[in-house]
Amino acid sequence: MKLRRSWLGAANEADSHFPLNNLPCCTFSRTGGPADRRPGIGIGDRIIDVRAIHSRGLLPLPGNAEAIWELPSWNRFMAAGPETWAAFRSRLTELLREGGDDALRADPGQALVPVADARLHLPFEVAEFTDFYSGRHHAFNVGTMFRGPENALPPNWLHIPIGYNGRASTVVVTGTDIRRPWGQLKPPGADAPVFAPSRRFDFELEMGAVVGQPSSFGVPVSVREADDMIFGYVLLNDWSARDIQAWEYQPLGPFQAKATATTISPWIVTKAALEPFRVATPKREKPLLPYLEEPGPMLYDIELEAALRPDGAPAATTLVRTNYRELYYSAAQQLCHHASSGCRMNVGDLLGSGTISGPGRGSRGSLLELSWGGKEPVKLDEGVERSFLEDGDTLTMTGWAEGDGYRVGFGNCEGTVKPAVAPRSRGG
């Protein structure tokens, strides 16, 4: 597919993340106040105020559209279903394309807000958060560090999308500062753990799938049905305290080590915008059980990068370049497996992909891998080194799918590490 040209010139630039082909969803405000928050659509360097153009009668939708736009989040719109999603996208395209309906171009009013003048918020209310472990290169690297290459992958890994239920309460939007967590850690050679700030704090380069349609309690779904339930995707950084995790993860897996924060990008790129970029999952090393077999390509060709800027540094150093297609299991397979027990999936559920690493060192999606457990520190452009994140470090992720003369981009997913806050004294 080629670039769909818009009368908004910035949307036609080759390096824009938000051409007419994209139309990502956000929640924004002009003042930052909760009452001012409203749903928006990214186009070029502008945000379309959806509530404003609906109030002018430019955005007719099936069903009760008034109720859909009452709230600033996209949950009600997602719940309205694929027919509404398609009608909305078609109508917006007609309003914004060159030679289309001229009503908005002739009188934009207050409907076009510069992105630079807006404050972005969480675009949807996160119902539940589940993080998976679906990157084969990442799983092999981490397993090799701790168990050797011959036992790197657990026996179940090539058969099942491994995951754990995380904390929806600590999913935050890009730009939110991240406090270094406290936790129990057991220093090498110590007989007992200590309670202290994490010394091996890390990022994880992931993507998140946003569930837009629910499943029924007690009823599994197929991979195809799961794919139909997904509304769109966001960038995702699942901040990880590696030293806390090393002490706590046996026998039930990650807990506090992953509960500090999960940062997502403020733009939901819809599945419809990503359709031209579908690719197949890798060749299976062992046959999957039939319920996990995919009816067609379920991954996407999305370039991903992560960069680190130390406090005071003039620029960031790119640490990672990888691609979403490196995953072994798709989001549709993850969702299918999640619901296979009869677990009800809700509108607004967020599924983390797991760290997305590629085969080379420069494509490793975490500092744990990049520094090989701290043994091989990473050199930054400023002449300093990092094995893990230090206070003041800003980690920025970005991603885009490359089309013919255009990009479908996700913007940035960014957070800055702040010093740990001392816990209250006993009884305080």
What's the gap between Cα 146 and its chain centre? 27
* Residue 320: partners with Cβ closer than 8 Å, 6 or more residues away: 205, 304, 305, 306, 362, 363, 364, 365, 370
Tokens of 306: 């992560």
Beta bridge partners of 400: 303, 409
The answer to whether residues 300 and 401 touch, using CB atoms and an 8 Å cutoff, is: yes
Q: Which amino acid is located at 279 in the chain?
A: V
DSSP 8-state symbol, 133: -
For the chain, the residue count is 428
What would you measure as the largest C-alpha separation in the chain, in angstroms?
Answer: 73
The answer to whether residues 400 and 410 touch, using CB atoms and an 8 Å cutoff, is: yes
Cα separation, 76 vs 338, in Å, equals 23
Tokens of 189: 């050679």
Q: Is the peptide bond between 251 and the residue preceding it cis, with omega within 30 degrees of 0?
A: yes
Q: Which amino acid is located at 309 in the chain?
A: R
Q: Is 138 a catalytic residue?
A: yes
The answer to whether residues 125 and 348 touch, using CB atoms and an 8 Å cutoff, is: yes
Cα separation, 140 vs 137, in Å, equals 5
Cα separation, 252 vs 391, in Å, equals 30
* Residue 368: partners with Cβ closer than 8 Å, 6 or more residues away: 142, 145, 200, 202, 240, 242, 388
* Residue 29: partners with Cβ closer than 8 Å, 6 or more residues away: 36, 37, 38, 72, 118, 119, 121
What's the gap between Cα 425 and its chain centre? 37
The answer to whether residues 54 and 63 touch, using CB atoms and an 8 Å cutoff, is: no
Give exposure, 193-220, as e/b (b: 16+ Cβ within 10 Å). Answer: eeeebbbbbbbbbbbbbbbbbbbeeeeb
CA torsion sign, 86 to 91 to 95 to 97? Answer: positive
Among 17, 121, 137, 138, which one carries the catalytic annotation? Answer: 138
Q: Which active-site residues does the annotation give?
A: 138
